[in-house]
Structure 1
Amino acid sequence: MGEEKPKTSPPTSVWLTVKPLVNGGASGMLATCVIQPIDMIKEKIQLASTLNQKALCGLNAGAIGACVGSPSDLPLIRMPADATLPAAQRAVALNMGMLASYDQSVEFFRNSLDLGEAATVVGARTVSGFFISACSLPFD
């Protein structure tokens, strides 16, 4: 009587359910670790710039971030949401709209309208949100 080979069971349904979440979470963490240093440089530059320099810095930061972060961002965002669409470099336009509009809005609300800190932040985020949408939606 020969030895019986151990039976291997197919993956459980729990693993099949959790696997996309684990892959997406790992991709997101890796993307954050890679993008964070680049984003920090972008924020340091924006503190001492004028509007044109902010827009240029936003374009460059978006381009660098898209090149570095797209491999990790793709499984996390693009594949589950819109697997049928071609990959697009919308991060360049998004960062340009965000960087330039937010800083310029803060300066306007703080200096021209003399608003308090909370009103300045809320107003600048609202204006920035509009420009982020306007700049990135054509790519979506």
Structure 2
Amino acid sequence: MASTTVKDTASKTAVSAQNAATAAIEDPSGFLHHPYTRAALPFINGGLAGMTATAVIQPVDMVKVRLQLAGEGARTGPKPSALGVTRDIIAAGKVLDLYTGLSAGLLRQVFYTTARLGFFETFMKNLNAKAKAQDSQVTFAQRAAAGLSAGGIAAMIGNPADLALIRMQSDGLKAPEARANYRGVFDALGRIARAEGVAGLWAGATPTVVRAMALNMGQLTFFSEAKSQLKQHTTLSTQTQTFAASAIAGFFASFLSLPFDFIKTRLQKQQKDPKTGVLPYKGLMDCARKVVKEEGWLRFYRGFGTYYVRIAPHAMVTLIVADYLNLITK
């Protein structure tokens, strides 16, 4: 009897909470419908979606960075596999080492994904409003421009956290006596700023911006376009449309952005030679030229499988969560 009473009470409480949440969302005068809240929601939903995806995908990102840095400067250098890198990381420390840099990854999402999804959603709302007023449809070119713009702006905002993430993940590749042993993302940011100046926090910003624009072109533009096309030409459910569109977006995001991600990783990892004070690469083009000359064209796509496993699920989780949050808060 007592058990039945507890169950009934819990059930009634759950129903009451659900009804209260529904009423809050549907109430046109409620908090969610305040003009300031409406403007902030795309950014909040984007940040939450990005942080959720990063928490899931962080170990794959760690392996991806190690693969990109292996054999630097040698055409016939080591050719590690994702499984081998994973095994080496675990053997050298512990399973949790796969989550090295998680704090930086989450901080990056707070700035980067909050901005890119927030700006993209804001741009798309304006484009949809204009298209509706003109009795037309948003074009692929307009979606592409929105994705490129949102990605570029967000990348500049999030570069310091992205730099800290690369430095933390690559630290384990150095000799024990040369490691920085960062205590966390804020320790990394502070030490980089003191050693290289505040401007040093934007090292690799150019390839980061280009990479973000390419990734967003693939991810947000193709997601929006694929979902629109699936809605018009199929009878799939909303959930299936979202999943299929996110899978398509994940592939294009990976394929278009990997070469730029590779160069970004190399530039952000580099530090001045202690003897000469010279950096290995002068910039994006110099890095690309040296990689082609010393390591070959295919090196840009080393670890594509790992990168796809990192980018595609991250894109899918981010887009599905963001789409769901946008749906329940619209």
Using the size of structure 2 for normalisation, the TM-score is 0.32
CA-to-partner distance for each residue in 1:18-70, whole Å, 9 max, x for gaps? 9x95x751x34543343324531211222424211111111111111111111
Paired residue for 1:44? Answer: 122
Q: Percent identity?
A: 30
For residues 78-115 of structure 1, the C-alpha deviation after alignment (integer angstroms, 9 at most, x for no partner) is: 2244579x943211211111111000100111111221
Q: Which amino acid aligns with 2:153?
A: I
The change in CA–CA distance for 1:137 and 1:31 in structure 2 (over 3 A counts) is closer
Partners in 1 of 2:257 and 2:115 — Cα distance? 23
Q: Which runs of 5+ in 1 are unaligned?
A: 1-17
Partner residue, 1:99: 220
Alpha-carbon contact 2:115-2:150 (below 8 Å) kept: no
Q: In 2, distance between residues paired with 1:114 and 1:58?
A: 27
CA contact (8 A) 2:227 2:242 kept: yes
User: What is aligned with 2:22?
Assistant: none
SS of the residue 2:236 aligns to: coil
| TM score, norm. by length of structure 1 | 0.70
- The answer (yes or no) to whether the contact 2:116–2:151 under 8 Å persists in 1 is no
C-alpha spacing 1:97/1:119, structure 2 compared with 1 (3 Å): same
Deviation at 1:75, TM superposition (A): 1.0
Number of equivalent positions:
119
Residue from 97, 114, 119 that aligns with 2:235: 114
CA RMSD of aligned residues (A): 2.8
- What is residue 14 of structure 1 aligned with on the other side? none
State the alpha-carbon separation in 2 of the partners of residues 55 and 82 from structure 1: 33
Query: Which consecutive aligned stretches of 4+ in structure 1 deviate over 6 angstroms post-superposition?
Result: none
1:9 alignment counterpart: none
Task: Give me the whole-angstrom Cα distance separating, in 1, the residues matched to 2:240 and 2:248.
Answer: 12
- Which aligned pairs between 1:1-140 and structure 2 lie closer than 5 A? 24-25=102-103, 27-35=104-112, 36-47=114-125, 48=128, 49-76=138-165, 78-81=166-169, 87=204, 88-89=207-208, 90-139=211-260, 140=262
Distance in 2 of aligned mates of 1:74 and 1:63: 16
- Which residue of structure 1 lines up, in the alignment, with residue 89 of structure 2? none
